[in-house]
Amino acid sequence: MSTNSVEQSKVKSRSETLNRMVEISLLLNSSLSIDAILTQLMDATVEIVHCESASVILMDENTQQLHFVAMPTTDAERSQKLKRIPIPLEKSIAGAIILENKAVVTNDTSQDPRHYSQTDSALGFKTSSLLGVPMRIKNRVIGALEAVNKIGGEWGEKDQHDLEVLASQAAIALENAQLIRKLRNANEELSQLDKLKTDFIAIASHELRTPLGVIMGYASFLKAEAQGELSDHATAVLNSALRMRNLIEDMTNLRFLKLKDIELAIEEVPADDIAQLAGSDVVSMAETRGHSLRILPSDSENLLVNGDRAKLLMALTNILNNAIKFTPERGTIKIRCIERPNEVWIQVKDNGVGIPQEDLTKIFEPFYQVEDHMTRRHGGMGLGLAIAKAVIEVHHGRIWAESPGPNQGSVFTISLPKAHPEDPEALKRITRH
Ligand code: ADP
């Protein structure tokens, strides 16, 4: 072969190696499992630097101890045993690579005093020649990658360079996979805590309801039977108990914040029915505050929506309860259903305290209340609107508030997709999104 063609074939083989390294780098970085990355790294090392096998030794961030995470054996028992043996940082080739942050080449490990031969016997693999490089992320060394027993010839500069590139790519891929694993674990812990909280709330609200029922029963009895001051005391007990029942109700409804569409019992519901039912739910409360509660006739007949009647009713009742609560006595509250292209709007308008512009979207966040919690005059936990929003959004609708300013009232609008009775598929579509 002429010198020229020898050069050409060298260039060709180099460019093939580089291409292969790009492919390997992409493969390593697209993997999210630590085991998959280690297997790919071992295979890539053998392929790129033509060696018999490879090892990956990582340093524990906390204990600073070195441990094998991948090694030249497929024997599961052996590798498990070896993973548990710490490699001395000061008396091993891996330790030297990590401490000095540079490559180590040895063509005869028996002559290298740093070689920690105990692992060879545990492995059943005789390491005679070795090329080890640090695994770095920027300037931080997280471990060492060692190629062992070169097949033919000795380790060259090219081998070292290629292995260093590979080790850096793998270090980043491993760190990413570790971060993702930590994130997944944290997520799992959070879900467990969340479940614990949900179970606690469900049990606590159920347990609170029973004694409250007894209190309310006796208080009503006393109120009816007693005269004068005693009757007033009974009324005070009853009112406080009612307030407490509302709070428990809010606690129970907390689960609706995470409502899923499969939990909906979808049917075609006339929007006016929801308005009428919600209105009658709150009428006595509105009367006690001297409000005028009016359900205005809608401009078109039979405005149908696809939805879960009970849950839509709950959402609208929450809005009405607020309108009653945040409107000074003898106010006016109006409910109206409006037809829109492809949508039906249910609107609640009051002439109460109004809402500052900057709070119009925040009030839909759980526990957000415009008034400071310590000084507020109105009861409630700040959940009603968040629950209403969750219910409406799971119906693929929207909910928003408008207010011209303080003491100028508020308007709450629920927008739901219009049901088309002539399109029976629409009913199913809502749960399929
Ligand atoms: P809660 O009523 O228990 O405080 P909500 O989530 O139902 O919780 O409402 C959140 C906040 O939004 C209320 O605390 C109040 O500040 C404000 N808000 C809701 N509805 C009205 C309304 N109709 N007028 C004025 N403010 C309102």
What's the gap in Å between 427 CA and the centre of ligand 1?
A: 32
Tokens 């260039």 belong to 11
Over residues 89-108, mean pLDDT: 93
Return the ligand 1 atom nearest residue 412 CA.
23
pLDDT, position 400: 98
Distance between first and last Cα of the chain:
67
| CB proximity list for 406: less than 8 A, separation 6 or greater | 353, 354, 356
Q: Is the CB of 355 under 6 A from ligand 1?
A: yes
* Radius of gyration of the chain from its Cα atoms, rounded to whole angstroms: 36
Nearest CA to ligand 1 atom 19: 322
370 CA closest ligand 1 atom index:
16
Ligand 1, atom 1, residue with closest C-alpha: 382
Mutate-to-test residue for ligand 1 from 322, 399, 403, highest number of ligand atoms within 8 A of CB: 322
Ligand 1 center to 384 CA (angstroms):
8
Mean pLDDT of the chain: 89
- Tokens 């899923």 found at: 260
Nearest CA residue ID for atom 20, ligand 1: 322
Would you say residue 250 has pLDDT above 60?
yes
> Helix H segments across 60-104?
76-84, 93-100
The whole-angstrom separation of Cα 333 and Cα 320 is 8
**Mean pLDDT, range 175-181, rounded to an integer:** 91
Query: What CA–CA distances, in Å, run from 356 to 58, 342, 421?
Result: 57, 31, 40
Decide if pLDDT at 313 tops 50: yes
Q: Which atom of ligand 1 is nearest to the CA of 352?
A: 24
pLDDT, residue 433, reads 44
Q: How many whole angstroms from 365 Cα to the centroid of ligand 1?
A: 11
For the stretch 10-44, pLDDT in tens is 888 888 888 888 888 888 888 888 999 999 999 99
The whole-angstrom separation of Cα 368 and Cα 377 is: 15
Average pLDDT for 238-249: 87
> Which amino acid makes up residue 293?
L
